[in-house]
Amino acid sequence: DDKQYPFFTQTFSQRIPVWPAAFDEPLTKMSHEYLDPMLNRYSPKFKGVLLAYKNVNLSHRPQRASVEKPPTNDTPVVLESFECYAPPFAWLTADLHLFVPSRGAWMEGEINLQSEGHIGVVCFEKFNASISRKSLPKGWQFVEQEEEEDTGYWMTENGDKVEGKIYFRIKNFSSGSTGDYTYLSLQGTMLDDEAEKRIATEERDAEKSRRARSNPNGLLYPTMRLPESSMTKL
Protein backbone atom coordinates (compact mmCIF):
# COMPACT_ATOMS: atom_id res chain seq x y z
CA ASP A 1 0.00 0.00 0.00
CA ASP A 2 1.68 3.21 -1.20
CA LYS A 3 -0.96 5.57 0.18
CA GLN A 4 0.54 8.41 2.20
CA TYR A 5 -1.64 9.27 5.19
CA PRO A 6 -1.23 12.58 7.07
CA PHE A 7 0.09 11.15 10.34
CA PHE A 8 3.53 12.12 11.59
CA THR A 9 5.73 11.83 14.66
CA GLN A 10 7.78 14.92 15.46
CA THR A 11 10.22 15.70 18.25
CA PHE A 12 9.35 19.02 19.84
CA SER A 13 11.38 21.15 22.29
CA GLN A 14 10.40 24.35 24.06
CA ARG A 15 12.14 26.41 26.72
CA ILE A 16 9.74 26.87 29.63
CA PRO A 17 9.73 28.33 33.16
CA VAL A 18 9.52 25.76 35.94
CA TRP A 19 7.59 27.22 38.86
CA PRO A 20 8.23 26.12 42.47
CA ALA A 21 4.77 24.52 42.61
CA ALA A 22 6.03 21.94 40.09
CA PHE A 23 9.28 21.06 41.86
CA ASP A 24 7.77 17.94 43.49
CA GLU A 25 6.57 16.45 40.16
CA PRO A 26 8.26 18.50 37.43
CA LEU A 27 7.84 16.06 34.56
CA THR A 28 4.16 15.39 35.21
CA LYS A 29 3.12 18.95 36.02
CA MET A 30 5.01 20.56 33.14
CA SER A 31 3.44 18.06 30.72
CA HIS A 32 -0.01 18.89 32.07
CA GLU A 33 0.62 22.62 31.80
CA TYR A 34 2.19 22.85 28.35
CA LEU A 35 1.20 19.74 26.39
CA ASP A 36 -2.24 18.71 27.64
CA PRO A 37 -3.96 21.98 26.56
CA MET A 38 -2.89 21.27 22.96
CA LEU A 39 -4.22 17.70 22.86
CA ASN A 40 -6.94 17.10 20.25
CA ARG A 41 -6.83 20.72 19.10
CA TYR A 42 -5.60 22.23 15.85
CA SER A 43 -2.32 24.04 16.46
CA PRO A 44 -0.90 26.54 13.93
CA LYS A 45 2.48 25.85 15.53
CA PHE A 46 2.39 22.24 14.31
CA LYS A 47 0.06 22.90 11.34
CA GLY A 48 -2.05 20.03 12.55
CA VAL A 49 -3.83 18.32 15.43
CA LEU A 50 -1.87 16.96 18.38
CA LEU A 51 -3.22 13.44 18.96
CA ALA A 52 -0.82 12.19 21.63
CA TYR A 53 2.63 12.69 23.11
CA LYS A 54 5.24 10.45 24.73
CA ASN A 55 8.89 10.33 25.84
CA VAL A 56 8.68 13.60 27.76
CA ASN A 57 11.95 14.95 29.10
CA LEU A 58 13.10 17.99 31.09
CA SER A 59 16.72 19.07 30.79
CA HIS A 60 19.04 22.08 30.59
CA ARG A 61 19.14 21.76 26.78
CA PRO A 62 16.92 20.21 24.08
CA GLN A 63 17.38 16.49 24.61
CA ARG A 64 15.23 13.46 23.89
CA ALA A 65 14.34 11.11 26.72
CA SER A 66 16.49 8.03 27.14
CA VAL A 67 14.79 4.87 25.90
CA GLU A 68 16.84 2.63 28.20
CA LYS A 69 16.29 4.81 31.28
CA PRO A 70 13.18 6.95 30.82
CA PRO A 71 13.13 10.01 33.10
CA THR A 72 10.72 10.21 36.02
CA ASN A 73 9.68 12.92 38.45
CA ASP A 74 12.66 11.88 40.60
CA THR A 75 15.22 12.35 37.82
CA PRO A 76 17.51 15.32 38.65
CA VAL A 77 17.09 18.30 36.32
CA VAL A 78 19.56 21.16 35.91
CA LEU A 79 17.59 24.42 35.81
CA GLU A 80 18.83 27.73 34.45
CA SER A 81 18.13 30.94 36.35
CA PHE A 82 18.94 34.51 35.31
CA GLU A 83 17.44 36.63 38.08
CA CYS A 84 16.89 35.74 41.68
CA TYR A 85 13.20 36.70 41.52
CA ALA A 86 12.45 34.95 38.22
CA PRO A 87 11.58 31.25 37.91
CA PRO A 88 14.29 28.94 36.58
CA PHE A 89 14.03 27.60 33.05
CA ALA A 90 14.39 24.18 31.45
CA TRP A 91 13.81 22.58 28.06
CA LEU A 92 10.70 20.43 27.66
CA THR A 93 11.16 17.82 24.92
CA ALA A 94 8.60 15.26 23.74
CA ASP A 95 7.70 13.09 20.76
CA LEU A 96 4.39 14.28 19.30
CA HIS A 97 1.94 12.22 17.26
CA LEU A 98 0.32 14.65 14.81
CA PHE A 99 -2.41 14.71 12.19
CA VAL A 100 -1.13 17.20 9.59
CA PRO A 101 -3.54 17.57 6.64
CA SER A 102 -2.15 18.46 3.22
CA ARG A 103 -3.50 18.47 -0.30
CA GLY A 104 -3.16 15.07 -1.92
CA ALA A 105 -2.80 13.14 1.34
CA TRP A 106 -4.89 9.97 1.57
CA MET A 107 -7.80 9.52 3.94
CA GLU A 108 -10.16 6.68 4.74
CA GLY A 109 -13.39 6.54 6.65
CA GLU A 110 -16.98 5.39 6.98
CA ILE A 111 -19.78 7.11 5.08
CA ASN A 112 -22.23 8.70 7.50
CA LEU A 113 -24.20 11.00 5.20
CA GLN A 114 -25.32 10.95 1.56
CA SER A 115 -27.13 13.66 -0.35
CA GLU A 116 -27.39 14.75 -3.95
CA GLY A 117 -24.71 17.37 -3.36
CA HIS A 118 -22.06 15.46 -1.44
CA ILE A 119 -21.00 12.48 0.66
CA GLY A 120 -20.07 12.89 4.33
CA VAL A 121 -17.35 10.69 5.82
CA VAL A 122 -16.04 10.10 9.35
CA CYS A 123 -12.31 9.44 9.04
CA PHE A 124 -10.35 7.39 11.57
CA GLU A 125 -13.35 7.68 13.94
CA LYS A 126 -12.37 11.30 14.62
CA PHE A 127 -12.36 13.71 11.66
CA ASN A 128 -15.30 14.73 9.49
CA ALA A 129 -14.84 15.19 5.76
CA SER A 130 -17.05 16.03 2.79
CA ILE A 131 -16.74 14.98 -0.86
CA SER A 132 -18.62 17.15 -3.36
CA ARG A 133 -20.56 15.43 -6.13
CA LYS A 134 -18.16 17.02 -8.63
CA SER A 135 -15.29 15.13 -6.99
CA LEU A 136 -16.99 11.71 -7.05
CA PRO A 137 -16.01 9.12 -9.69
CA LYS A 138 -17.46 9.50 -13.15
CA GLY A 139 -20.49 7.28 -13.62
CA TRP A 140 -21.75 7.50 -10.05
CA GLN A 141 -25.41 8.46 -9.80
CA PHE A 142 -27.61 9.59 -6.96
CA VAL A 143 -30.75 7.54 -6.30
CA GLU A 144 -33.53 9.42 -4.56
CA GLN A 145 -35.63 7.78 -1.87
CA GLU A 146 -39.30 8.49 -1.30
CA GLU A 147 -39.03 8.13 2.48
CA GLU A 148 -38.64 11.50 4.19
CA GLU A 149 -36.07 10.28 6.70
CA ASP A 150 -33.73 9.08 3.95
CA THR A 151 -32.71 11.47 1.17
CA GLY A 152 -31.23 8.69 -0.95
CA TYR A 153 -27.89 7.11 -1.77
CA TRP A 154 -25.13 7.08 -4.37
CA MET A 155 -24.69 4.18 -6.78
CA THR A 156 -21.54 3.22 -8.69
CA GLU A 157 -21.43 2.82 -12.46
CA ASN A 158 -21.78 -0.95 -11.86
CA GLY A 159 -25.03 -0.45 -9.98
CA ASP A 160 -23.61 -1.10 -6.50
CA LYS A 161 -24.82 0.98 -3.57
CA VAL A 162 -22.10 3.21 -2.15
CA GLU A 163 -21.73 2.51 1.57
CA GLY A 164 -19.23 1.55 4.25
CA LYS A 165 -15.55 2.46 4.01
CA ILE A 166 -14.15 4.59 1.20
CA TYR A 167 -10.73 5.98 0.34
CA PHE A 168 -10.09 9.48 -0.99
CA ARG A 169 -7.52 12.27 -1.06
CA ILE A 170 -7.63 15.69 0.58
CA LYS A 171 -8.65 18.33 -1.97
CA ASN A 172 -8.84 21.35 0.32
CA PHE A 173 -8.67 21.98 4.04
CA SER A 174 -9.02 24.94 6.35
CA SER A 175 -8.74 25.58 10.06
CA GLY A 176 -9.58 28.29 12.53
CA SER A 177 -10.89 29.04 15.98
CA THR A 178 -14.06 30.48 17.39
CA GLY A 179 -15.00 30.83 21.03
CA ASP A 180 -13.56 28.02 23.12
CA TYR A 181 -12.82 25.56 20.35
CA THR A 182 -10.84 25.18 17.15
CA TYR A 183 -12.19 23.62 13.98
CA LEU A 184 -10.84 21.72 11.01
CA SER A 185 -12.63 21.39 7.68
CA LEU A 186 -11.62 18.63 5.24
CA GLN A 187 -12.87 18.46 1.66
CA GLY A 188 -11.96 15.38 -0.33
CA THR A 189 -11.82 14.05 -3.86
CA MET A 190 -11.93 10.62 -5.47
CA LEU A 191 -10.66 11.93 -8.82
CA ASP A 192 -7.12 12.15 -10.17
CA ASP A 193 -5.18 15.41 -10.44
CA GLU A 194 -6.05 16.06 -14.10
CA ALA A 195 -9.77 15.70 -13.47
CA GLU A 196 -9.57 18.03 -10.47
CA LYS A 197 -7.72 20.64 -12.54
CA ARG A 198 -10.50 20.59 -15.13
CA ILE A 199 -13.11 21.04 -12.40
CA ALA A 200 -11.15 23.94 -10.88
CA THR A 201 -10.97 25.66 -14.27
CA GLU A 202 -14.71 25.21 -14.81
CA GLU A 203 -15.48 26.59 -11.35
CA ARG A 204 -13.28 29.66 -11.94
CA ASP A 205 -14.99 30.34 -15.26
CA ALA A 206 -18.41 29.95 -13.66
CA GLU A 207 -17.43 32.35 -10.86
CA LYS A 208 -16.27 34.97 -13.38
CA SER A 209 -19.58 34.69 -15.20
CA ARG A 210 -21.49 35.01 -11.94
CA ARG A 211 -19.59 38.16 -11.01
CA ALA A 212 -20.19 39.69 -14.43
CA ARG A 213 -23.94 39.05 -14.19
CA SER A 214 -24.26 40.21 -10.58
CA ASN A 215 -22.12 43.33 -10.76
CA PRO A 216 -20.85 44.26 -14.23
CA ASN A 217 -19.40 47.56 -12.97
CA GLY A 218 -17.31 46.22 -10.10
CA LEU A 219 -15.80 43.24 -8.37
CA LEU A 220 -17.59 40.80 -6.14
CA TYR A 221 -15.47 38.81 -3.77
CA PRO A 222 -16.71 35.23 -3.52
CA THR A 223 -17.53 33.81 -0.13
CA MET A 224 -16.86 30.14 0.44
CA ARG A 225 -19.31 28.37 2.71
CA LEU A 226 -17.79 25.30 4.29
CA PRO A 227 -20.05 22.22 4.29
CA GLU A 228 -21.21 21.34 7.80
CA SER A 229 -20.32 17.70 7.18
CA SER A 230 -16.69 18.68 6.56
CA MET A 231 -16.28 20.37 9.96
CA THR A 232 -14.68 18.87 13.05
CA LYS A 233 -14.87 20.86 16.27
CA LEU A 234 -11.76 20.33 18.37
pLDDT tens for residues 77-120?
Answer: 999 887 776 889 999 999 999 999 999 999 999 999 999 999 99
Report the share of the chain in percent with pLDDT over 90.
67
Cα atoms in the Cβ-side hemisphere of radius 13 Å centred on 76: 1
Check pLDDT > 80 for residue 70: yes
Cα atoms in the Cβ-side hemisphere of radius 13 Å centred on 117: 6
CB 144, CB 151: distance < 8 Å: yes
Please give the Cα distance from 43 to 112 (Å, whole number): 27
- Give the residue, 136 or 226, on which the prediction is more confident: 136
Could you tell me the pTM of the whole model?
0.86
pLDDT at 215: 67
Count the residues in the chain.
234
- Which pLDDT tens digit goes with each residue over 181-196? 888 999 999 999 999 8
User: Which ranges in the chain are annotated with CATH 2.40.50.1060?
Assistant: 106-216+222-233
Check pLDDT > 60 for residue 1: yes
Torsion of CA 29, 34, 37, 43, to 10 degrees: -160
> For residue 146, what pLDDT band results from cuts at 50, 70 and 90?
confident
User: Which ranges in the chain are annotated with CATH 3.30.1490?
Assistant: 7-99
CB 171, CB 185: distance < 8 Å: no
- Considering only the top CATH level, what class is 7-99? alpha beta
Check pLDDT > 70 for residue 218: no
**Residues ≥6 apart with Cβ < 8 Å to 180:** none
CATH number of 106-216+222-233: 2.40.50.1060
Q: Provide the pairing of β-strand 118-123 with 48-59.
A: unpaired
Question: Which of 13-22, 163-172, 214-223 is the least confident region?
Answer: 214-223
| Averaged confidence pLDDT in the chain | 89
